[in-house]
């Protein structure tokens, strides 16, 4: 009788655990508009930086849809908005915490988001027609500059002999 009860409990709890989606899946189900509203309404710069990671993933899904349908203007507008969101986030973080090396929370998440977005943007640029690439490259240049600045702020004591990391530059078509 004890074994039957244990099997019943295991079956119920096992079935319940399969019914709940994992946290990552719940995050992916958030729409870009929902994430953007949460990002815009957030007042704490650290939490805002953490939200930017999820928001950038949602925005990238939208960019992929736009580039697949060859709506390059909409895709560019999303990347420009991401750049503006990242710049606002960086300013807010710097206003709250003047020493990212000692208090990196928020700065790290922003830098990781920037690095991922740079990689994604590079992947998209190489697939674009040559005449559509320039505005995307301009946004990429701005994001690279922010990324280098954040790395320098997070690791200001890098040995002098080491060169700055070189950005991954996409190969242009044309």
What is the residue extent of each domain of the chain? 45-154
- Judged by average pLDDT, the poorest of 2-16, 42-56, 85-99, 138-152 is 2-16
Asked if 126 contacts 170 with a C-beta cutoff of 8 angstroms, the reply is: yes
Q: How confident is the model at residue 166 (pLDDT cuts 50, 70, 90)?
A: low
- pLDDT tens-digit map of 60-70: 999 999 999 99
Position 23 pLDDT exceeds 90: no
- How sure is the predictor about 172, in pLDDT bands with cuts at 50, 70 and 90? low
pLDDT average, residue stretch 136-164: 87
Dist CA 119 CA 124 (whole Å): 9
45 in Cβ contact with 95 (< 8 Å) = yes
């Amino acid at each position: 009788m004890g074994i039957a009860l244990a099997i019943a409990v295991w079956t119920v709890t096992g079935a319940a655990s399969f019914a709940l989606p994992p946290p990552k899946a719940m995050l992916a189900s958030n729409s870009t508009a929902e994430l953007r509203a949460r990002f815009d309404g957030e007042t704490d710069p650290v939490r805002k930086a953490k939200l930017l990671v999820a928001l950038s993933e949602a925005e990238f899904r939208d960019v992929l849809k736009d580039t697949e349908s060859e709506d390059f203007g909409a895709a560019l507008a999303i990347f420009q908005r991401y750049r503006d969101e990242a710049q606002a986030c960086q300013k807010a973080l710097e206003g709250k915490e003047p020493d990212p090396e000692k208090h990196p929370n928020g700065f790290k998440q922003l830098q990781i988001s920037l690095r991922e977005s740079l990689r994604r943007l590079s992947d998209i640029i190489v697939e674009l027609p040559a005449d559509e690439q320039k505005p995307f490259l301009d946004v990429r240049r701005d994001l690279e500059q922010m990324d280098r600045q954040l790395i320098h702020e997070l690791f200001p004591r890098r040995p002098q002999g080491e060169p700055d990391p070189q950005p991954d530059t996409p190969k242009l078509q044309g």
